[in-house]
Copies of this chain bind each other. A is one copy, B any other.
Amino acid sequence: MKKFEEKTIETKPVYDGKVISLRVDTVKLPDGNTSKRELIKHPGAVAIIPITKEGKIIFVEQYRKALEKSIVEIPAGKLELGEAPEVTAVRELEEETGYTAKQLNKLGSFYTSPGFADELLHLYEAVELELLTETVAGDDDEFVELMELTLEEAEALVKEERIHDAKTMYALLYLRLKHASN
């Protein structure tokens, strides 16, 4: 859909980094006036809800420099250039948790911040987990600690704001709804 389309009059690249890039577009609005749009390009990401055979969910705690604190999230990672999201999902699950999944169910996808960024996040549920016998090397600048929690334990961390990000809170609602439907 292109309703209320904002046509680009001018585009100014500002920054091109290792993860994101920033440009500022001058746009023509539907009423003929102009405005500026500050826009972040992001490669896209995956997030995985790993469910153990005991029915627990595997989370990772990691430091988020943007927030200057560590939070507890479901495993996630950025897409490599040209990589299919399913491939990223398997890789990130193995790197971050040490488990692989016999079954990966796609739950959907969403834009995380459509007001300024094009990051699209693909969400999966990973079941029938098997512990890998060898560890898989991940990014050498990522430090994570694993936590296996019940849904109730995870919901308690939401109240403490230790779980506090969109994808993880979406995942918990999804699991709560699944329980309610069973």
Partner of A116 from the list B19, B162, B167 (CB cut-off 8 Å) is B19
A61 and B177: CB pair below 8 A? no
A114 and B33: CB pair below 8 A? no
Binds B, one of A50-58, A68-76, A98-106: A68-76
Partner of A18 from the list B22, B36, B73, B121 (CB cut-off 8 Å) is B36
**Complex: how many Å from CA A64 to CA B2?**
9
B115 and A66: CB pair below 8 A? yes
Does chain B have a CB within 8 A of A29?
yes
Return the CB mask of A37-67 against B: 1 if under 8 Å, else 0: 1111010010000000000000001111111
- Grouping DSSP codes into helix (H, G, I), strand (E, B) and loop, the A interface class, with mixed when no group exceeds half, is mixed
Binds B, one of A81-89, A125-133, A137-145: A137-145
Chain B residue with Cβ nearest A158: B108
A40 and B40: CB pair below 8 A? yes
List residues of chain B with CB within 8 A of the CB of A169.
108, 110, 170
**Complex: how many Å from CA A158 to CA B73?**
24
